[in-house]
Amino acid sequence: MLTKKEIQVLELVKQGLIQEEIAKRLKISQPAVSNFYNNARRKIREAKSVLSIAKEMKLDEE
Q: How far is CA 3 from the centre of its chain?
A: 9
Q: Which domain holds residue 9?
A: 4-61
Q: How far apart are CA 47 and CA 61, in angstroms?
A: 21
* Sequence-distant contacts of 28-31: CB under 8 A, at least 24 apart: none
Q: Would the pTM of this model clear 0.95, i.e. be above it?
A: no
Q: Number of structural domains, the chain?
A: 1
pLDDT tens sequence across 3-53: 999 999 999 999 999 999 999 999 999 999 999 999 999 999 999 898 888
Can you give the CATH number for the domain in which 53 is found?
1.10.10
